Amino acid sequence: MEKTISFECGQTRHVIFFKDSRDMSEIRDNSVHLVVTSPPYPMIEMWDDLFSSFDHRIAEVLQYLKEKGKSLPAQQALRLMNEAYDLMHEVLLFPVWDEISRVLVDGGIACINIGDATRSIAGLFRLYPNHAKTIEFFEKKGFVSLPYILWKKPTNKPNAFLGSGFLPPNAYVTLDVEYILLFRKGRARAFPPKYQLRYESAYTKEERDRWFTQIWDDIKGERQIHSKLYRRTASFPEEIPRRLIRMFSIKQDVVLDPFLGLGTTTKVAAELGRNSIGYEIDDSLYDVIVERLGLNQPLLFK
């Protein structure tokens, strides 16, 4: 039996499904106003087992490259690396993006925090541009790409260079930003004149000037120290969904996070007077999410 958390906060309702978000059949078509999420990043080694659990071919290709890759011609090794990379997007992320396309209202916005990956496999170091792969998918689905945000993490070491130190030409630029990609489904949402909830949801001039700039360099990553979460090195900082929800939704809207993780988007949506829906495939996080949300009422199981 799938676990479900359901609770109310003021006039808003929130539900979390512990299941695979490639199937979000619990959600009606055209009923979600905003998506805020940060998925597992393809080709980041800590997520290999997760991606492999969805398709055995990923595990097989990665294992073959580990065992035989250095003896292969470079072009053959690169083709296999690309095969694993493409599969990670195709078997897990693309089906979720398809569901997002279905459930978003016309004018609804998807905010996707995703980082690129760098990795050495088979003696070849290369970049895996996850953000570009995501943009390509959403544009093919007919979404409008909006100017994205670069989240520059102040916690990254400024002197963490890769490669040959001070000797050219074999050093590499360090990845020190993640992308917050913004996509709109069709034309902008329309509202009646003087719509009260929209005015109640307004931000200040100071907030507008700080938030609607392309580089966010004032948000620190949050290191996860919970004993049950040893496999997760960091959590989604609350300030990111807080800003995005304020920027791209109004009170009583429905906010969806199909990769909920520790429940951050749900927590922030509740605090900001929005309804929310979350999906998390790892039901071992149930107790952690309950604790983080401060729920002390009886919980409902589906």
Query: Would 199 be classed as within a structural domain?
Result: yes
Burial bucket for residue 280 (CB in 10 Å: 0-12, 13-18, 19+) = buried
pLDDT mean over 18-32: 98
Burial 34-63 (b: 16+ CB within 10 A, else e): bbbbbbbbbbbeebbebbbebbeebbebbe
106, 190 contact by CB (below 8 A): no
What pLDDT was estimated at residue 233?
A: 43
**pLDDT given for residue 219 in this prediction:** 92
Q: pLDDT per residue over 153-188, tens digit each? A: 865 455 566 666 677 888 888 889 999 999 999 999
Which segment of 79-83, 179-183, 235-239 scores lowest on mean pLDDT?
235-239
Residue 109 sits in a domain of what CATH number? 3.40.50.150
pLDDT average, residue stretch 118-131: 95
Residue 206 lies in a domain: yes
Q: Is residue 83 part of a domain?
A: yes
Q: What is the Cβ-side half-sphere exposure of residue 205, based on CA atoms within 13 angstroms?
A: 0
With beta carbons less than 8 A apart as the criterion, state whether 89 and 42 touch. Answer: yes
The CA–CA distances, whole Å, from 50 to 4, 55, 56, 156, 275 equal 22, 9, 11, 25, 29
Distances (CA, A) of 242 to 36, 37, 40: 10, 12, 20
Domain-embedded: residue 302: no
Strand partners, 9: 12
- Closest C-alpha to 35, from 234, 190, 153, 184: 184
> Is residue 37 in some structural domain?
yes
Model pLDDT, residue 53: 97
In the prediction, which pLDDT does 171 show?
83
What's the pLDDT tens digit per position in 105-117?
Answer: 999 999 999 999 9
d(CA 151, CA 222): 13
Answer yes or no: is 301 within a domain.
no
The pTM assigned to this predicted structure is: 0.93
Number of domains observed in the structure of the chain: 1
Residue 131 lies in a domain: yes
* Residue 168 within a domain: yes
Q: Which two tokens stand for residue 177?
A: 């930003």
Give the span between the Cα atoms of 245 and 261, in whole angstroms. 17
Domain span at residue 174 reads 4-293
